[in-house]
Chain A
Amino acid sequence: MTETKTIDRRGLLKGAAAVAGTAIGSGAMTGFPTIWAQNIKNITLRQFGTGVSNLNDIATRCKADTGITISMTAMDTDAAAIRAITQPNSYDVADIEYFTVKKVFPTGRLQPLDIKKIKYYEDIVPLFKDGKVTPTASVGQGTAPCRVSYVEGASSTKFAAAPTEWMTLIPTIYNADTLGIRPDLVGKPITHWKELVDPAFKGKAAIINIPGIGIMDAAMTIESLGLMTYADKGNMTKAEIDKTIKFLIEQKKAGQFRAFWKSFEESVDLMASGEVVIQSMWSPAVTAVRSKGIACTFQPLAEGYRGWGGGLGIAKHLTGLERDAAYEYINWYLSGWTGAYLNRQGYYSAVLTTAQKYMSPNEWGYWMEGKPATAAIMSPQGQQIAKIGDVRDGGSYYDRIGHIACWNSVMDNDRYLIQKWNEFSVA
């Protein structure tokens, strides 16, 4: 415990150094470098984003470490995209996903972020830069973060193909999603996406009812069945959308699905109550089911994962001291405490080196290296997630993130997809 505290202090000192550094850097602009550190304490930044990372614990810790007040609003993915575009003056910091960025950034609601002001830029994992987890890995299909990470200049809204000095979001969080299963109820090993439509699970399967994400899970299933291969699952042609929706309608009419869920809580309830034994799921939902004492596995599958990533963007209207505070907040975010907090929930931090300092070797081994737990693994809320000897579903960071087959996406045929999805809903 004392050890963690010293690290905290060290982190704080580092943070303070960063504050001083940035203060000097921005001194020329504001003209008041000496009072800057005090001013920043009075600043409130309004942040909105999805429920996964808009957590009060983070805001509380940020206030204690930097003095900046973050007022957070959590909403679902769709609502976040709407907020980002339609109410650009209602927020200072946007905590959004990369596929949302594809929609939002071209509208000019966010400002490109100067990587020179990001203290840990060099430490950000390559996934968000050139997109390769390891030098030999390939980039998954769809709106992979690296495809929308950079813009061409300080006032550009055009995505750059290769890294530049201007980022759309500073990445904070990402994960590899797969199907969740109830190992006690499925009655056999699950190894492929096609098992989502196995007749053995008739009336006991579910998928997510967000068109852009649900259709990807369907596409993974179709490819797994060998019915069709997609050039890019994250950007389907109209014909591919037609075939995929037709497949979903057939499955729906055959009674394969119990429900289509839209919110995190719904997916937890469906699984915990036993209504469903196999479904699209998110990592913390699996954790939530487990913390009720119910067996639930985030099952790695042969065809790979569906990836997603998110980060922090700064609203166009933010300038001066407030913008400096936003940068300072982002630097704090990447400095380790939050990264460790997110890692402990089963996500991954964009800067792993700093997060490691805030995690015990046992935690790091369990969450990141795929090693058996040497002591009970606790959630940040203090609930036990794994006992001694347990291994994380899917194994190590490289085993999971290295096998992302496609990323959450916005398709060019987005409008057509929604129409077809409505047909599926009513079928």
Chain B
Amino acid sequence: MSSTIKAAAANPTARSGAKPGGTSAGAWLLATPLAIVLGIFLVIPILMLVVVSFLDYNSVQIIWSFVVQNYIDAVSSAATWQTFAVTLKYAVITWAITLFLGFWLSYFLAFEVRGAAWQMGLFLVCSIPFLTSNIIRTISWIPALGRNGIVNSVLLHFHLIHQPLTFLLYSQFAIILAFVHLNTLFMVTPIFNSMMRIDRTLIEAARDNGAGFWQTILNVILPLSKTGIGIGTIFVITLVMGDFVSVSIMGGGQSASVGIMIQNEMSQLQYPAAAANAVILLAIVLIMVFLILRVVDIRKEL
């Protein structure tokens, strides 16, 4: 008896989907190209990275013997901790500013702008700076912010300052500015996407129940934008944590980041040391992503 019931239960699936058994084979087949690509370009390189991080080296070559010295060197050096702390600081500050900007830009696009065409149009405007490369967008700040740059010239011309402001360039201010400029869109896009999916009747209902502007934001819009904020956060944090170009250009070589530290080690052929730092960085970023995922269920959005 039970077998008939099973067959009956299985039947609808068989009719509506692919053949039984074939479903999983087909799924595997469909997943294969991606698995191969990720395997070759992500999994294998990371495994190699981990292997190299445990090898010894001298000033010219890697020596094939297993050591943990690279990790001991990294962890026991105050410079490593400082570098990670400074990188984390850039990430957190950039995250806070891009979140603020991203949230309100998205709010404006999603709720203040009327009409899908205008919304999409303005959203595309936001993405225009992204038509050029990261490096060009970073370097183009230099003539604006320099000692004799546009900003200082204008301020001096209007007698708002008497000495050129030197903190504008080759400083932490400059680094954060570049990061915010480079990464705000990564916050805007997912938050805007989340906000567009919010059922407008919920907002009307909130208003009907006497909620003010801030109450609506806090109790309706913010919770419903959480997935977008989560995705944006992952983008911004991982991009800033791994950066070395913006920090070296905008910091004038005066500031460190984990990326620069790794690059320095590689340029001195200290691949195992660089690999060890890369593994530590990877671990930290993964932990951060894991924590973000604990707070926000991103799959809701997908």
Contacts and interface: CB of A to CB of B under 8 A. Distances in A.
Co-complex (A, B): yes
Contacts of A103: 59-60, 269
A85 B166 contact: no
20 contacts: A85-B269, A103-B269, A107-B61, A203-B166, A209-B253, A252-B254, A259-B252, A273-B146, A273-B148, A275-B147, A410-B59, A414-B268, A418-B265, A421-B264, A422-B256, A422-B261, A423-B77, A425-B256, A425-B264, A426-B261
A86 B61 CA distance: 8
Contacts of B143: 273
A78 interface: yes
Given A78-B267, A85-B269, A257 B59 contact: no
A211 interface: yes
B204 interface: no
B213 to A, nearest CB: 44
Contact of A275 (B169, B253, B260): B169
B170 interface: yes
Instruction: Identify the interface centre among B170, B253, B260, B266: most chain A CB within 10 Å of its CB.
Output: B253
Given A104-B60, A274-B148, A275-B146, A419 B267 contact: no
A247 interface: no
A81 interface: yes
B254 A423 contact: no
Contact of A425 (B60, B61, B78, B261): B261
Q: Is the interface of B mostly helix, strand, loop or mixed?
A: loop
B220 interface: no
Interface string A204-230: 001001010000000000000000000
Nearest to B83: A426
Q: Is the interface of A mostly helix, strand, loop or mixed?
A: helix
A258 interface: yes
Contacts of A262: 248, 253
Nearest to B61: A107
Interface in A398-427: 410, 414-415, 418-419, 421-423, 425-427
B67 interface: no
B267 A85 contact: no
A390 interface: no
Contacts of A422: 77, 79-80, 83, 256, 261, 264
B79 A423 contact: yes
Interface in B118-158: 142-143, 146-149
Contacts of A203: 166
A86 B266 CA distance: 12
A216 to B, nearest CB: 16
Interface residues of A, number: 36
B254 A259 contact: yes
Interface in B64-81: 73, 77-80
A389 interface: no
B82 interface: yes
Contacts of A79: 267
A419 B60 contact: no
Given A257-B254, A425-B261, A426-B83, A82 B59 contact: no
Nearest to A410: B59
Nearest to B82: A426
B270 interface: yes
B254 A81 contact: no
Interface size class of B (residues with CB under 8 A): 35 or more
Interface in B148-198: 148-149, 166, 169-170
B302 to A, nearest CB: 39
Interface in B260-280: 260-261, 264-270
Contacts of A361: none
B202 to A, nearest CB: 48
A259 B170 contact: yes
B86 interface: yes
B182 to A, nearest CB: 20
Given A85-B60, A269-B142, A425-B261, A258 B268 contact: no
A145 to B, nearest CB: 19
Interface string A340-369: 000000000000000000000000000000
Contacts of A415: 58-59, 268, 270
Interface in B21-63: 58-61
A268 to B, nearest CB: 13
Contacts of A199: none
A23 B78 CA distance: 61
A121 interface: no
Contacts of A104: 60
Given A209-B253, A274-B148, A275-B147, 5 more contacts: A85-B60, A273-B148, A275-B148, A414-B59, A426-B79
B78 A274 contact: no
A425 B260 contact: yes
A261 interface: yes
Contact of A259 (B78, B253, B264): B253
Given A85-B269, A425-B260, A419 B79 contact: yes
A415 B269 CA distance: 10
B164 to A, nearest CB: 10
Contacts of B78: 423
Contacts of B147: 273-275
A106 interface: yes
Interface string A181-209: 00000000000000000000001001001
Interface string A269-310: 100011100000000000000000000000000000000000
Contacts of B73: 419
Contacts of A106: 60
B281 to A, nearest CB: 14
B123 to A, nearest CB: 35
A107 B60 contact: yes
Contact of B267 (A82, A410, A414, A425): A82
A139 B267 CA distance: 29
A260 interface: yes
Interface string A75-106: 00011011001100000000000000001101
A209 B269 CA distance: 16
Nearest to B169: A275
4 smallest beta-carbon distances between A and B, as pairs: A259-B252, A260-B253, A78-B267, A426-B256
